[in-house]
Amino acid sequence: MGFEKSRNGPCSDREKLPKLGPSNVNSSALTGNGENAELTPMTFVSDLFAIALGGSIGAVVRYVIALAVVSAPLSGWLTLHGCVGTTLANLLGCFALGGLFQFSQALVASEWGATGWAASLAHPRMLLAVRIGFLGSLTTFSTLIGETAVFASQGRILASSLLLGINVIAGWCLFWAAAAVVRNWTS
């Protein structure tokens, strides 16, 4: 009997396991707003549409940044296999996310965000559109890793390491710099 219990494991009772799907997904992990909002199939589709809309705008902005870097004076020096455009997009995204992070924190902590335009910016669907859609599409970790791999495969380990370090360290610093600017603005 003890063998039977250990073979089935502690989760053998299927009735106790939660059913996964859009009807019980907690969106607070994605929006960071701390609400325990339950999604219905319609709100799930609306959330997906908001993410898709934000993502399409972020992708276009990223493409425009890449075109601007390529067409800039000294573009041959600036492009370096496209890494300057990728780095610029990543750093702008980190700065924007830091500002949005602090702005949403300020809205939660104060009463002035309860109504008006600020409340619409803090709406969970808007946060999904901006954080996951727009900023997720604007910034690109996979392209950064691909560009560092190209440098490494060419034996340019220093360039590869510098590219990765600049994106991570400068991105971290810009995130907190934007948060500090917004903190000063909202206090």
Flag whether 6 is in a domain: no
Residue-level pLDDT at 140 = 87
Flag whether 72 is in a domain: yes
**Residue 164 pLDDT > 70, yes or no?**
yes
Residue-level pLDDT at 179 = 96
Flag whether 19 is in a domain: no
Rounded-to-5 percentages of helix, strand, coil across the chain: 80, 0, 20
Counting every residue written for the chain, the total comes to 187
Residue-level pLDDT at 29 = 45
Q: How does the average pLDDT of the chain come out, rounded?
A: 78
Flag whether 44 is in a domain: yes
Q: Which residue has the tokens 């997906």?
A: 48
Of 87, 98, 97, give the one whose Cα is nearest residue 148: 87
Q: Can you give the pTM of this predicted structure? A: 0.73
Domain count, the chain: 1
Flag whether 2 is in a domain: no
Flag whether 37 is in a domain: yes
Of 35, 39, 59, 58, give the one whose Cα is nearest residue 47: 39
Amino acid, single-letter form, for residue 9: G
Any known ligand binding at 136? yes
Flag whether 98 is in a domain: yes
Any known ligand binding at 155? no
Flag whether 129 is in a domain: yes
Q: Rounded distance, CA 13 to CA 20, Å?
A: 16
Tell me which residue range forms the domain holding 168.
Answer: 33-186
Q: Rounded distance, CA 177 to CA 43, Å?
A: 34
Dump pLDDT digits (tens) for 80-125.
Answer: 556 888 999 999 999 999 999 998 888 777 755 556 666 677 788 9
